[in-house]
Structure 1
Amino acid sequence: MTDLQVRKMNFAFADYDVPFLWNEENPAFSSMANAVSFLAIGFEKMIVKLILQAKPLLTDPAVAEEADAFMRQEGQHSTAHRQHVKGLIKSFPGLQETLDEVIGEFDKLTAETSVNYRLAYTADLEATFTSVFKLMLDNDSTLFQPGDDRVASLFIWHFVEEVEHRSSALIIFESVVGSDLYRMRMAPSIFRHVMKVIRLACLGFNKHVPLDDRQVDAMAMFASYRNMQFLRKRLPMLQEEYNGPMSRAFDVLPLGEQLTALRGVVRSQLPKHNPAHEKLPALADVWFERFDAGYDVTRWYTADAEVK
């Protein structure tokens, strides 16, 4: 039987305004995390359709059960991120255009690519999450705690559940496709698509969210964009509208930890990768223990204060 638990969450995003700059101490991380919300809605919608299409191919009952729990967890993530993004769109209506573009990219992927390709897409991308989210959760006091507790709690919940089902996508891929070579061959096009979608979200942020509200050039996370902006400063004929400071989300984090995460991402794409062997964020165990004990994980940093 699968160990995955489907948890329904309500982060009360409809109760009051959702700030774009939800962590004022780190505008670049606020913007990057918001882009993850947009990506999550489209990606997880694709996953739900994919698993429904792949179900007839899952002949092992244990894998079928894993796939169902994985799909239902991802469906809950998509629902919660939709509420977050709905709050952002309420303040910045132009972001509806951005959300439609992001979802459209994944709808196109569903319509135009095979089940095998989308299983590889899901397995490749999900395989990177443990290392990346460990970096974030290991630095929660810097990245999450100073911010809006609803938004911080949304991402902490999502990321610990990604750690929980870290092996699911590869288990499903191996059951249906079972080719590390195919997964590696598809990786370049998969990550080009991922970056294209994130770029769409960031371009939308620059277009629809005033600089006073985002406090950063949302495109600064892309090295090619930063290099182009560097050239523009020296070539007047290339000057464009100023979109804000070029700070990056992880500039405040130790370089060694960033490099460890990068090595983990590279390792995740190699043959015979087994996510079960990855080092996990300590915060994940704390989160699961608190959830099981009845702690209000939708207010991760403030629930204790209200009780007291």
Structure 2
Amino acid sequence: MAEDIEPLPVPRRIDFDFPDDIDPNWKADDPEFCAMVNGASLTMPYLEPFLIKTVRETARHIDDPRVQEEAKAFNTQEQFHYRAHRRFNELIKAKGYPELAGLEARMEAAYARLSTRSLRTRMAYTAGFEAMTMGVTRWLINNRVQLFGGSDTRVASFILWHFVEEAEHKCVAFDVYQAAYGGSLGGYFARARGVFHGALDVMFNSMRGYKIILRKAGLWGQLRSRLRLARRLGSFAWTVAPYLLRAALPGHTPRREREPQWVHDWIAQYPHAPEGYIPLLDTHSPTMPVPFPSARAATGAAA
């Protein structure tokens, strides 16, 4: 492991509420972004159990107790993530998109097939996907006002909570892979392939999801809608692509990647929050600060 030791991830069960009044188009003036997020959410109950199983299996072959602790914390965080996504996805399907169940069945079968591959291939896929999440986190957080402004706070907060924790465990899958397979040239090439295998596979499944959603909404064939979608995807790719390219290089370590300060501000507030507190963003704020009472009070006092 690297000398620069990251704090262990902290699993947090946050019971975000997804009642029936949540609209699948949870940001009324941006149905394309809603479809992108909803499509990505569909992948999580199939992707994340695969990641958990892969990390657990790989960790059994590792003697480093620190890496084993990281792996356990990572897996618990991911369990909370995919269970919340599953609740959200069930709501989306029930609100007029039953066709998404067919995509879910295909993803379940695809991950079952992927689970028959070698453990090194599966762990490279896992580390590769996690490399992408650092770019996604930066894109979502640095553009949070533009992307989530005026949206349903329950959905915006749920999504950003997830990616704050992705940043928190950014080193874990890499550390597990390196501890198990990183000592050879073959291990490096497998990891580099995994960067694109994991990232592009999840992107493709997300794309299939948002295509179904936009088609059902009657937007897929509209030029204006496709142009709005292209702008969102272009902005996403512009931010995420450099992370993937760097992750595929020899000598890469996620410790060199710096997440936005907003991530650290969010995490730092948990010890001061009331028990059972659900962090909900003020999506009408011009700055959208971290959603904790003590942070808001400090901001008000500074003003």
Aligned residues: 276
Q: Counterparts in 2 of 1:170-249, with a 5 A limit?
A: 170-178=174-182, 179-206=187-214, 209-211=216-218, 216-217=219-220, 245-249=225-229
Q: In the alignment, which of 92, 101, 105 is matched to residue 106 of structure 2? A: 101
- State the identity as a percent: 26
**In the alignment, what sits opposite 1:233?**
none
Residue 151 of structure 2 corresponds to: 147
The one-letter amino acid of 1:6's match is P
Deviation track 1:159-181 (CA, whole Å, cap 9, x = no partner) reads: 11000111111000001111222
Which 4+ residue blocks in structure 1 deviate beyond 3 angstroms?
A: 185-192, 241-244, 247-250, 252-255, 257-261, 295-298, 302-305
Q: For the structure 1 residues 31 and 121, does the alpha-carbon distance in structure 2 shift closer, same or farther, using more than 3 Å as the test?
A: same
| Structure 1 residue 90 corresponds to structure 2 residue 94 | yes
The equivalent of 2:50 in structure 1 is 46
Q: Which runs of 5+ in 2 are unaligned?
A: 284-290, 298-303
Question: 1:236 aligns to what?
Answer: none
Structure 1 unaligned regions, length at least 5: 218-240
Tell me which residue corresponds to 2:15.
10
Aligned to 2:301: none
1:288 aligns with 2:267: yes
Query: 1:148-207: CA deviations, max 9, x gaps?
Result: 111101110011100011111100000111122221244454445334322332343245
Counterpart in the other structure of 2:286: none
Paired amino acid for 1:288:
I
| TM-score where L is the length of structure 1 | 0.80
**Alpha-carbon distance in 2 for matches of 1:130, 1:159:** 8
1: distance between equivalents of 2:198 and 2:240?
19
RMSD between aligned alpha carbons? Answer: 2.9
Relative to 1, partners in 2 of residues 1:124 and 1:188: Cα closer, same or farther, differing over 3 Å? closer
Give distance in 2, aligned partners of 1:148 and 1:121: 33
Q: Aligned pair in 2 of structure 1 residues 135, 203: CA closer, same or farther (>3 Å)?
A: closer
Counterparts in 2 of 1:297-308, with a 5 A limit?
Answer: 297-301=278-282
Aligned to 2:84: 80
Inter-partner Cα distance in structure 2 for 1:80 and 1:65: 23
Say if 2:131 and 2:195, in contact at 8 Å, map to a contact too.
no
Q: Which amino acid aligns with 1:106?
A: Y
Q: Does 1:166 align with 2:145?
A: no
CA deviations on 1:57-85 (whole Å, 9 max, x unpaired) are 12111111111111111111101101110
1:28 Cα shift? 1.7
Which of 248, 252, 261 is the matching residue for 1:273?
Answer: 252
CA contact (8 A) 2:128 2:195 kept: yes
- Cα distance in 2 between the residues matched to 1:145 and 1:68: 35
Q: Does 1:135 align with 2:115?
A: no
Q: What is the DSSP-based 3-state SS (H/G/I as helix, E as strand, rest coil) of the residue aligned with 1:247?
A: helix
